[in-house]
Amino acid sequence: MDENNNNKENQQVDPDNEHIQLKVRSPDGSEVYFKIKKKTKLEKLMNTYCNRLGQSPEAVRFLFDGDRIKGDSTPEELGIENGDIIDAMVQQTGGFRWSTKDHGFHVNFIY
């Protein structure tokens, strides 16, 4: 019986070290799964995600419920729970739109 009690004690979750599973979803719908502690800074997850995709961490924005996530935040601070989804958006910089509308035909070019 003592062996069963020891197994149950080992299976109990310490609330300070509780893990949650999250999904990070890209604009194309692909998802990457993570298991992290509630008190782990999200910067660790963000850097790992960017490294897996070959993206610069400065070029990717992470959102939870439409709000931007800062790397020094934790899931616990933001109310992120097991199974929640974080959206990853690649930041677009620069570009312009040029139109040939004034020349008798209409074609849009986006650079």
Q: pLDDT for 53-111, tens place per residue?
A: 999 999 999 999 999 999 999 999 999 999 999 999 987 666 655 555 555 555 555 55
pTM above 0.85, yes or no: no
State residue 101's pLDDT score. Answer: 52
Looking at residue 86, its pLDDT comes to 98
Mean pLDDT confidence for 12-26: 79
What per-residue confidence (pLDDT) applies to 91?
Answer: 78
Contacts 24+ apart (CB under 8 A), 6-15: none
User: What is residue 3's predicted lDDT score, i.e. its pLDDT?
Assistant: 54
What dihedral angle (degrees, nearest 10) is formed by the CA atoms of 38, 27, 92, 66? -50
Mean per-residue pLDDT, 14-39: 89
pLDDT at site 111: 52
pLDDT value at residue 74: 97
pLDDT score for 80: 97
| pLDDT (mean) for 12-24 | 76
